[in-house]
Amino acid sequence: MHILLASPSANSTLLVNGLASLGVRCDDTDTLDDLASVIAHSGPYDALVLRIDGALRDAQTAVAELRRRGLTVPVAVLCGRTPQPAEEEAMLHAGADDVLHNPIHLRVLQARLQALARRARGHASSRLLCGNVTLDQAQHAAVVDGRRVNLTAREFDFLETLMLHKGVLLTKERFMSSLYADGAAPDSKIVDVFVCKLRRKLADCGAAEMIRTVWGRGYVAFEPSSAAVETARRARRPEAAVDPVPRGWTRRSAGLAAATA
């Protein structure tokens, strides 16, 4: 995920680093002023987090302004104290999607942000489907007909971005801002490399073609036909089959499981 954290009244370093350890790329700002311009300049973002330690009035105004301008990015408000019911109600009516309060487990915060981003794009669960490919955000695994595809972390993130935006044309710049927001980025030709590798690995495991090239513009994930899925299954390379996804398998260490925001 790629999120924007607005934290006007508290140091955000620990939270940014904690989320980064879970694979959440996080830009941060210390002001609530004109968040729409920040999003337009540095986004797009999968979610916006407003970290507020004091009164929620300014955050309510900032969220209402975002919605007035037509921005639909999911917004979570992270409060330094338990909000009063009237405050929480006002934040939600202003346009916030969730109101949370510290202390909060980092993995719970990550899961809530993923859920907000999924629902904003019409996905009801952590399992994203396209043809006979299932991408499980909770397990951090991509599977074809129940068998795991051996992807690198970057390849998984690339496929996740495609499937979260199924049917939407994504430019190379969009992929680069999502994949390399946390550090120095290579040449944008790396996007073509990711697409080539993903197509090969998915096809070897019997997945139907689901990535379409729009020449000169970018790539889009599309839903393959039932006939294409059956044809791809018959063409699967036996040596490409791997063991089923282990129960509870995840990519990253749980060493930071006890951390809080």
CA distance 221 to 170: 9
Residue 126 has pLDDT above 80, yes or no: no
Q: Which residue has the tokens 């830009």?
A: 27
Q: What single-letter amino acid sits at 155?
A: E
Among 29-43, 92-106, 237-251, which stretch is predicted with the lowest mean pLDDT? 237-251
In this structure, the number of other CB atoms found within 10 A of the CB of residue 228 comes to 16
CA distance 97 to 24: 19
User: How many angstroms separate the Cα of 155 from the Cα of each of 36, 50, 204?
Assistant: 30, 30, 15
Q: Is the pTM of this model over 0.85?
A: no
In this structure, the number of other CB atoms found within 10 A of the CB of residue 99 comes to 21
Q: What is the DSSP letter of 24?
A: -
Average pLDDT score over residue span 32-60: 86
- Summarised one tens digit per residue, pLDDT across range 141-186 is 899 998 899 998 889 988 988 888 888 888 888 787 767 655 666 7
Token readout for 124 is: 């009801």
Q: Name the CATH superfamily, with its identifier, for domain 2-120.
A: Response regulator (3.40.50.2300)
Q: What is the DSSP letter of 53?
A: S
pLDDT at 240: 57
3-state secondary structure of 147: strand
Token readout for 18 is: 């904690």
- Summarised one tens digit per residue, pLDDT across range 5-35 is 998 877 788 888 888 888 788 888 888 888 8
Token readout for 122 is: 């019409």
Structural domain spans, the chain: 2-120, 127-240
Q: What's 127-240's CATH class?
A: mainly alpha
